Each structure stands twice: as C-alpha cells, then as structure tokens.
RNA sequence: GCCCCCGUAGCUCAGGGGAUAGAGCGUUCGCCUCCUAAGCGAAGGGCCGCAGGUUCGAAUCCUGCCGGGGGCACCA
C-alpha cells in the first residue's frame, strides 16, 4: 500500500505511459525480459481498476509459464506505490491498477496550472505541410469543400498543439480546362471584361459554360485554345483570370471567417502557381526516361498500378495537345512541398475518391527522387456528406448545397433554439447562435470516423443530448455559471483538489486522460478521438454536477476542491473544442 | 476484371487483439422549494454482414464470399 510514499508529482503526457514504464521495469527485474509493449489499457468496465496491463498472457506463452505466475512475478517486482493504491491480478492474468486518489488530485491541480493542460510537446517536432480546403475559383464553395476545410483545420490545430510546425496549403483550383471554358464564355457574353462579377454570377456563368462546352464543339475548341492562351500568359486573358481569382478569394475568405477557420490568403497556393514549372517537370521526367510518349501523350507509369485491361496505368504528364493535367500539377506540388518547403510530413486532406490518384503521385514522386523516403506522405481521406435520405446531400433542385447557405441556416436554426434564453442580450444571442450553429456543423463532421460517409441531420447535430457540440458547450456554460455564482474567478490551480466522492474521482480521472486523447487524435490524424473523449468528460462532469454541490457546498475545503475540478473541466473543454475549431461561449 | 473505403441495438454512431461489446435518439418509467431540466437516473433492446483461418483469447488480425459507396488514359 501507498501510505508511506509521497505521491509522484504532476507529470505531463499520457498517464498510461507511467504505468507502462513501471511494468517494463518490473518485468526486467523479475523475469529478465524486455517488454516491447506493456499493453496498458483503460480497465474494462466493472473490473474496479483504472488501468490494466494485458502483457502477462502473451508473455506467459512466450516464457512457457502460466500467465498468472508471470503476472505475480511482475506485480511482486513492481515499484509503483507513488502512483497506485492497489494492484491486483484478475482472470487469466490481467494486472489491474487503481490509481492513488491523492495522485489523481495532484494531476488535476498540475494540469490546471499548466498552460498545455498536460499535453506534451513532441520530442521530435516536424515540419508538416498540410493540404486542405481546395475550393475552385469562380465556383461558390459547396458541401464538397466542407469536410476538407473542417477536418484540415482541426488537424492543423491538433498538430500545432503538440509542437509541430504546420504549413497549411490551400491548393485552390484556379487553372486548367474549366478556365478555358469559363473565360471564353465570359468573353462571349461580356467582351468588356472590366465589369465586376460577383461570385454568384460566376457560379452561373460556370454552369452555362459547362453546358455550352458539352453541346457546342466550336465553343469547346475555342475553350481549349483559351486554355493555351492562359497557360501561355496572354495579357488580356490573364487580366480577366486575375479578376476572377480575386473575387473568388474574397468569397473564400468570407466563408472561412464565418466558419471560424484560420486560413488566410497567405495559405493559398493554387494550381496556377505551379504553371511556370510544368514544362520543366515534364522535361525532367522525359529526359530521365521516367516518362514516355504513349498514345500521343507524355505518360509516367508509377510501379504497381494497372488499369481495367491489366496494363500499366499512367499519370498524364503532358496531353497530346500539349496541355498539362492535374497529374502534372500535383507532381510539381509534391516536389515543391518536399524540396522547397522541406516538409517532413506531407498530408493531403482530400476526399477518398482521390485515393488512387494520390497513391500514384506519391509513388512517382518517390521514383523521381523528389520526395525522399524519410518524408511521410499521407492521404487523409474522408467520406461523403449524405442527406437524411442516405443519398449525396443535394438541394431539392438537385444542385450541390452552397456552403454559405448551409452555414447561414445553421446559425438561424441555432438562433431559434437560443431565442427563449431570456438572460442573454440580443447581441449575446447572436454570438451564441453563431457559436452553436457553426459548432454543430463542425462537430457533426469531426465526431465520427472521417472515413465513413455521414448523414447530415439538423435535428441530430443540434440536439442537446448526446455527442454534439451544443452538449459540450452547454456543459462548459454551466461551469462558468457555477463559478460566477461562487464569486470565484476561474481557478488557475491552487492545488486544493481532493478526490473523494465517486463522481469527483471519475471526473479527475477523465481530466487526467486529456493528453492521451489529444495524442491519439494526432497520431491517427483522427479528430473524432478527441470528440469522443470530450463527450465522456462532459458526461463525467454532468454526473459530478448532479451529485456534488459545488458553489453551494458548505465545507470550505470541499468547495474549493470542487471549484477547482470545475475550472479544470472548463479549461479542458475549452482547449479541446478550440483544437477542433469550435467556440465556447461562457453563457448559453 | 482489379484497387480503396464502409457494414456493430429499430435509427445515428463509438469501440479496431483482452475479462460481461458501449453511447445518444426513439420506447417505457422516474427526478426541478437545490449551482442553467438545453440536464440527470433506470429499464428494455445485439448470431458485431456471412463463412473459414490465425491466436491462450477475435467485433478487432488474415483469406474468401455477400451488400453499399468510390476509383481505374489525356476533366480536376
């Protein structure tokens, strides 16, 4: 037992790591084995422990001993009294750990005084180039851009939180065949190209151009020539293009602002910015025999990819008409990110449909020696946004839903919910509606496994119960309310946390797991792991709130402790939601 | 034809080698003279798509099927 030993002081990071180290040490001392993994996991429900080690079973097999005997050997050699109050062996050889109450209390106090709330900085900080959002110039942003933008932004925040340097790259679609169509069409209908065009005009123009392109061969030919003019830098064409670009970027920034996403014009590095190097890219691949003419086009064949006919599958580096494709642009982009930006990691947050394309690009860029083996290339995929009918989300007319409309509706719907909150001023209500509405949309996107398609449902995402942003925001608002009532500023860690009641203990344990949740989200590039954690924390708080009086508690020491637990919960909720890009109003 | 993703409670989703598979919604039943009831508690609900295999142990890993989605030569 632990009574004689002082508890281990506050430690940053995943608390399971501490137990893992102790178990490895014990296994080394008692059995003379090096445990690669102590297999520490949160305890199964109802087993009375906080954490368990599952290492004895496999180790027993390896050593030819009964798992329970191995477990006993490890436990007898274990030196963990400063962390645990009880260590038992259960079942075939599970080692169960109960953490010391006073250590948990010290963890929470320490966290509260720590600006990082326990989240450790990476021992090997990396430079991460992260591709996200990627809207198209002259098209309004639609739901198709939602996920890349939201998930990408959350990943930027998460990676930075653990100490990585992140360079966001907004690879906007501002070049290529569609612009030939669009520019040629604009030229047809409005030869005085100095006229200003709003983004929704452009959206309409775009659709008209598309229709004309498909129906009118003469127009299609002119459009192709217009692409060549654009790529060749013909002044009038370029001037008109620039207008489109600037109007579009104003629109993008307005959407990012509304969404609360940190992207700025400095992060924009569109397809057009690689235009000048495309000939060099093609020439280098051709000179080095990495690309050959096939069917009239210059093609590179990365190893291991075949098409329907079982033939090698190409990246089209230069079309038979001399133009370049997004294969070329993406090769140039990969080279730039690896060699100019000197990325350690290159992350692309792009829908799952592009998987084959990026696998080919990554493979070819490595074959060309542009991306070194030491640089990690990751395609962070995500599924489609579905309507409640289970089909791709569309408007009634069958068009893709404009992002601005969607977000405005979110704020409006949230506003209706907030309307009867009489204690809020009109201005506060507007701010709260925004935080709740936008938060709901973002959280709905972030809270389930990104690889899955998800069903967009207003009713569910704005629900007060369950794993939603509002529920978390509400929990946090309640805490602020309690703290106001208590006349206490948000505590910054007076070290007065005591862990006694079951609900206090459960809350403290949940708080102490925050760093592990962040690390898990970062390592797997899965924001939903943090969401799941935050929901568990909010649930633990709700239980604590129901069963433990806080501001009304008469025992001063207990009251101070509970206020500090509440403050810590608020701090973690706010930090956690901030890492997801979600606002946390103090009043709802 | 080949490749990628998905299949867990009626619905929406967690869990991705460990003990008795968890939430929320919906259903049923409780809880506001008490810090925000936008809340909390309880009950009921499961051949974890199917079949093999690996393992002391499989919802989890492997193989093959079935079902859904996506991709596979000059659009991006």
Strand B contacted by A176 CB (< 7 A): yes
CA A307 – C1' B71 distance (Å)? 11
Q: Which two tokens stand for residue A95?
A: 């080692």
pLDDT of residue A523: 96
How many whole angstroms separate alpha carbon A206 and alpha carbon A193? 16
Burial environment of residue A382 by CB neighbours within 10 A (0 to 12, 13 to 18, 19 or more): buried
Other CB atoms within 10 A of residue A295 CB: 8
Give the CA A94 to C1' B52 distance in Å.
30
**Residue A190 CB closer than 7 angstroms to strand B?**
no
Rounded to 5 degrees, what angle do the CA atoms A180, A181, A185 make?
115
ipTM of the assembly?
A: 0.97
Provide the residue-wise pLDDT of chain A in tens; the chain has 588 residues. Answer: 445 689 999 999 999 999 999 999 999 999 999 999 999 999 988 888 999 999 999 999 989 999 999 999 999 999 999 999 999 999 999 999 999 999 999 999 999 999 999 999 999 999 999 999 999 998 889 988 999 999 999 999 999 999 999 999 999 999 888 888 888 888 887 655 455 678 877 888 888 888 888 888 888 888 888 888 887 888 988 888 998 899 899 999 999 999 999 999 999 999 999 999 999 999 999 999 999 999 999 999 999 999 998 899 999 999 998 889 999 999 999 999 999 999 999 999 999 999 999 999 999 999 999 999 999 999 999 999 999 888 899 888 888 899 999 999 999 999 988 887 767 888 999 999 999 999 999 999 999 999 999 999 999 999 999 999 999 999 999 999 999 998 865 555 677 899 999 999 999 999 999 999 999 999 999 999 999 999 999 999 999 999 999 999 989 899 999 999 999 999 999 999 999 999 999 998
Distance A45 CA to B63 C1' (A): 33
- Cβ < 7 Å from strand B, A residues 505-564: 526, 528-529, 532, 535, 539, 542-543, 545-546, 548-552
Q: Which of residues 259-278 of A touch strand B (CB under 7 A)?
A: 271
Give the phi and the psi of residue A127 in degrees, each rounded to 5.
-95, 120
The CATH code of the domain at A15-98 is: 3.30.1360.70
pTM of the model: 0.95
| Assigned token pair, A436 | 């709740």
Range list for CATH 3.30.1360.70 in chain A: 15-98
d(CA A536, CA A447): 13
**Residue of least CA–C1' distance to B6:** A452
Q: How far is CA A24 from the centre of its chain?
A: 33
Q: Which nucleotides of B are covered by protein (CB under 7 A)?
A: 1-7, 12-26, 34-41, 55-57, 69-76
Listed in sequence order, the residues at least 6 apart from A135 whose beta carbon sits closer than 8 Å to its beta carbon are A141, A145, A170, A172, A173, A248, A252
Measured torsion, CA atoms of residues A508, A512, A513, A517, in degrees rounded to the nearest 10: 120
Q: How far apart are the first and last CA of chain A?
A: 46
The pLDDT of residue A2? 44
For chain A residues 23-82, those near strand B by a CB cutoff of 7 A are: 39, 41, 43-47, 49, 52, 54, 57-58, 61, 67
User: Longest Cα pair distance anywhere in chain A, in angstroms?
Assistant: 90
Nucleic strand B within 7 A of Cβ A480: yes
How much is the pLDDT for A364?
A: 98
For A7, left (φ over 0), alpha (ψ -120 to 50), or beta? beta
Under DSSP, the state recorded for A336 is I
């Amino acid at each position: 037992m632990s009574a004689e030993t002082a508890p281990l002081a506050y430690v940053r990071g995943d608390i399971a790591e501490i137990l893992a180290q102790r178990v490895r040490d014990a296994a080394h001392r008692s059995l003379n084995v090096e445990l690669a993994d102590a297999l520490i996991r949160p305890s199964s429900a109802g087993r009375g422990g906080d954490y368990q080690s599952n290492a004895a079973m496999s180790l027993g097999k390896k050593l030819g001993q009964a798992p329970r005997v191995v477990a006993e050997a490890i436990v007898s050699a274990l030196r963990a009294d400063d962390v645990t109050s009880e260590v038992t062996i259960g079942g075939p050889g599970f080692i169960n750990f109960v953490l010391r109450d006073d250590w948990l209390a010290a963890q929470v106090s320490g966290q509260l005084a720590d600006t990082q709330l326990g989240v450790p900085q990476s021992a090997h900080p990396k430079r991460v180039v992260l591709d996200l959002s990627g809207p198209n110039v002259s098209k309004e942003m639609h739901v198709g851009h939602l996920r890349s933008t939201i998930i990408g932004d959350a990943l930027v925040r998460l990676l930075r939180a653990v100490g990585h340097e992140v360079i966001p790259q907004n690879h906007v679609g501002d070049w290529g065949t569609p612009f030939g169509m669009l520019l040629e069409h604009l030229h047809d209908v409005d030869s005085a190209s100095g006229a200003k065009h709003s983004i929704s005009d452009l959206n309409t123009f775009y659709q008209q151009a598309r229709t004309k392109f498909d129906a009118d061969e003469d127009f299609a030919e002119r459009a192709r020539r217009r692409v060549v003019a654009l790529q060749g830098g013909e002044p009038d064409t370029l001037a008109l293009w620039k207008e489109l670009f600037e109007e579009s970027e104003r629109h993008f920034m307005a959407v990012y602002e509304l969404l609360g996403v940190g992207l700025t014009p400095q992060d924009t590095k569109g397809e057009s910015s690689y235009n000048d190097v495309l000939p060099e890219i093609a020439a280098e691949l051709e000179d080095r025999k990495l690309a050959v003419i096939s069917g009239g086009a210059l093609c590179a064949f990365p190893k291991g990819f075949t098409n329907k006919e079982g033939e090698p599958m190409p990246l089209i580096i230069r079309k038979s008409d001399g133009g370049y494709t997004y294969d070329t642009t993406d090769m140039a982009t990969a080279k730039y990110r690896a060699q100019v930006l000197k990325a350690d990691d290159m992350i692309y947050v792009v829908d799952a449909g592009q998987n084959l394309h990026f696998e080919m690009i990554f493979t070819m860029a490595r074959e060309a020696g542009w991306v070194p083996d030491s640089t990690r290339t990751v395609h962070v995929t995500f599924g489609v946004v579905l309507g409640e009918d289970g089909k791709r989300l569309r408007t009634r007319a069958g068009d893709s839903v404009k992002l601005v409309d969607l977000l405005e509706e979110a704020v409006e719907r949230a506003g209706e919910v907030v309307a009867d909150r009489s204690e809020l001023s009109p201005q506060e209500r507007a701010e709260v509606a925004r935080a709740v509405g936008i938060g709901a949309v973002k959280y709905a996107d972030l809270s389930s496994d990104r690889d899955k398609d998800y069903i967009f449902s207003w009713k569910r995402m704005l629900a007060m119960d369950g794993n939603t942003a509002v529920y978390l925001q509400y929990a946090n608002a309640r805490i602020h309310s309690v703290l106001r009532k208590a006349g206490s500023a948000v505590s910054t860690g007076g070290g007065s946390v005591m862990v006694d009641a079951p609900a206090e203990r459960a809350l403290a344990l949940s708080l102490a797991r925050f760093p592990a949740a962040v690390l898990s989200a970062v390592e797997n590039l899965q924001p939903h792991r943090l969401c799941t954690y935050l929901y568990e924390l909010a649930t633990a708080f709700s239980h604590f709130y129901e069963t433990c009086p806080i501001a009304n508690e008469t025992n001063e020491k207990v009251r101070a402790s509970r206020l500090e637990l509440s403050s810590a919960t608020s701090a973690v909720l706010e930090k956690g939601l901030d890492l997801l890009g979600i606002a946390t109003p103090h009043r709802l």
